[in-house]
Amino acid sequence: MEKQPQRKNVLIEDSMPEPLERQRLKLIYKIVCFAFGILSTVMICILIRLSDNLTVEKKKQALRHFEEIANHVIEQQNH
């Protein structure tokens, strides 16, 4: 009987585990995407807070301006 040649170097992708380098890259990509997500969330929160602060400042400035006009009108009526 003849010996049948064995196929030792056959790669079947479904049954083979992923190479360690590919797993590391996937993990690094996930960490980087997660970090970008957190960074963008923090940036949005900071921008919203700055916008709110600017709105409050503008309201205060408008009230001061209104008071100045009202005081000026009252002074003119008193004379």
User: 58-71 pLDDT, tens per residue?
Assistant: 999 999 999 999 99
Taking the C-alpha atoms of residue 44 and residue 51, their distance in angstroms, rounded to an integer, is 10
Q: Residue 44's pLDDT is what?
A: 97
Chain CA centroid to CA 58, Å: 27
Question: pTM for the complete prediction?
Answer: 0.55
Please give the structure tokens belonging to residue 22: 């590919």
How confident is the prediction for the chain on average, in pLDDT? 85
Gyration radius (Cα) of the chain, Å? 35
Please give the structure tokens belonging to residue 58: 């503008």
Q: Residue 31's pLDDT is what?
A: 98
- Domain ranges (residues) in the chain: 21-79
Question: Mean pLDDT, to the nearest integer, of 33-55?
Answer: 96
Question: Mean pLDDT, to the nearest integer, of 6-27?
Answer: 72
Question: Mean pLDDT, to the nearest integer, of 25-37?
Answer: 96
